[in-house]
């Protein structure tokens, strides 16, 4: 890829995800006690105050601090990759979502020792894993990166808009 990366999109989106993630988690913690739930759309969509001290899908429980430290390395890799990615708004969006999600969950792991999860969706006993804003951002980013792998043209750099000269040649003024 060529050109400078699109830092404002990358950083702005990551910041938005972290802020939205931390605000929604704080709201859940203030509204529901751990394990309590609130129905939004019957049993199909509920808010449940969960505390995940493992990784994705609750795997590797009791390792939140270790995953928090690993997250620091992941954050560094995401930023470094974006710095080398070139001028692709698509890739800046995908990596911004990924960075924001990683920072949101890392903040919980290092500050609380667990990640606050709260969205519980499913039909009857068939449930998706309980997740949060950071998890949703990471999931969208992964889907975008898979789409990029299948269709590389999505990540092609976008040229800068040409600057028009005032009173230059070809100006009918």
- Residue 172 pLDDT exceeds 60: no
pLDDT at 85: 82
Measured distance CA(11)–CA(93) in Å, rounded: 9
* Spatial contact of 36 and 49, defined as CB atoms under 8 Å apart: yes
pLDDT at 156: 85
- Residue 141 pLDDT exceeds 80: yes
pTM of the model: 0.83
- Residue 149 pLDDT exceeds 90: yes
Indicate which residues carry an active-site annotation: 117, 135
For the ranges 51-60, 61-70, 79-88, the maximum mean pLDDT occurs at: 79-88
Q: Classify residue 55 as exposed, middle or buried by CB count within 10 Å of its CB (0-12, 13-18, 19+).
A: middle
- Residue 2 pLDDT exceeds 80: no
């Amino acid at each position: 890829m060529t050109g400078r990366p699109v830092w404002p999109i990358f950083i702005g989106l990551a910041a938005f995800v972290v802020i939205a993630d931390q605000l929604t988690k704080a709201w859940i913690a203030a509204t529901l006690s751990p394990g309590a739930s609130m129905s939004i759309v019957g049993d199909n969509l509920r808010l449940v105050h969960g505390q995940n001290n493992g990784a994705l899908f609750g795997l590797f429980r009791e390792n939140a601090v270790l995953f928090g430290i690993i997250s620091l390395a992941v954050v560094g890799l995401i930023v470094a990759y974006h710095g080398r990615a070139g001028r692709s708004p698509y890739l800046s969006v995908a990596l911004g979502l990924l960075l924001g999600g990683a920072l949101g969950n890392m903040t919980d792991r290092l500050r609380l020792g667990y990640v606050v999860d709260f969205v519980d969706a499913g039909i009857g006993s068939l449930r998706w894993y309980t997740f949060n804003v950071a998890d949703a951002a990471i999931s969208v980013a992964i889907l975008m990166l898979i789409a990029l792998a299948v269709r590389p043209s999505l990540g092609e750099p976008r040229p800068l808009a040409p600057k028009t000269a005032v009173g230059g040649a070809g100006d009918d003024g």
